[in-house]
Structure 1
Amino acid sequence: MESLDANGWARLFGACRESACHLEMRDTYAVQEEAADFEEWRAGRWGPAEAAESWASWLDLMRKTSTRGVRLRRARIVSEPVTDYIRFEHEGTPLNIAAGEDVRWLPRTRASGLALPGNDFWIFDGATVLFNHFTGDGGWIGNELTTDPEVAKLCADAFESVWALAVPHSEYTLV
Structure 2
Amino acid sequence: MNAQQPSFAECLRDTARSAVHLEMRDDYGDNERFAAWRAGSRIAWDDRSSWWRPFHDQIAAAVARGVSIRRVRIISEPVSEYIRWEHYMTRANLAAGEEVRWVPRRLSSDLVLPCNDYWLFDDRLARIHHFAGDGSLVEDEFSCEPAVLKLFAASFETAWERGITHEDYVV
What amino acid is the match of 2:43?
Answer: G
Counterparts in 2 of 1:53-132, with a 5 A limit?
A: 53=50, 55-132=52-129
Retained in 1: the 8 A contact 2:23–2:72? yes
Give the total of aligned pairs: 170
| Equivalent position amino acid for 1:38 in 2 | F
2:167 is the alignment partner of 1:170: yes
Q: Given that residues 112 and 155 in structure 2 are in contact (C-alpha distance below 8 angstroms), is that contact kept between their aligned partners in structure 1?
A: yes
Match of 2:8 in 1: 9
Question: After TM superposition, what 4+ stretches of structure 1 lie above 3 angstroms from structure 2?
Answer: 1-5, 48-55
What stretches of structure 1 of length at least 5 have no aligned partner?
A: none
**Which segments of 5 or more consecutive residues in structure 2 lack a partner in the other structure?**
none
Offset from partner CA, 1:36-64 (integer Å, 9 cap, x none): 11110000013255896355111111000
- Who is 1:18 aligned against? 17
Q: TM-score, normalised by structure 2?
A: 0.93
**Whole-angstrom distance in 1 between the partners of 2:145 and 2:119:** 14
| SS of corresponding position for 2:19 | strand
The answer as to whether partners of 2:51 and 2:92 remain within 8 angstroms in 1 is no
Q: Which amino acid aligns with 2:10?
A: R
Distance 2:150 2:129 in 1: 17
Structure 1 length-normalised TM: 0.91
Deviation at residue 137 of structure 1 after TM alignment: 1.3
Name the structure with the higher helix share: 1
Corresponding position: 1:43 with 2:39 = yes
1-side partners of 2:49 and 2:104: how far apart? 27
Deviations along 1:5-56, whole A, 9 cap, x unmatched?
9x7111100000000000000000016xxx1111100000132558963551
Partner SS state of residue 104, structure 1: strand
Secondary structure, counterpart of 1:10 in structure 2: helix
Provide the C-alpha distance between the structure 2 equivalents of 1:108 and 1:154, rounded to a whole number of angstroms: 19
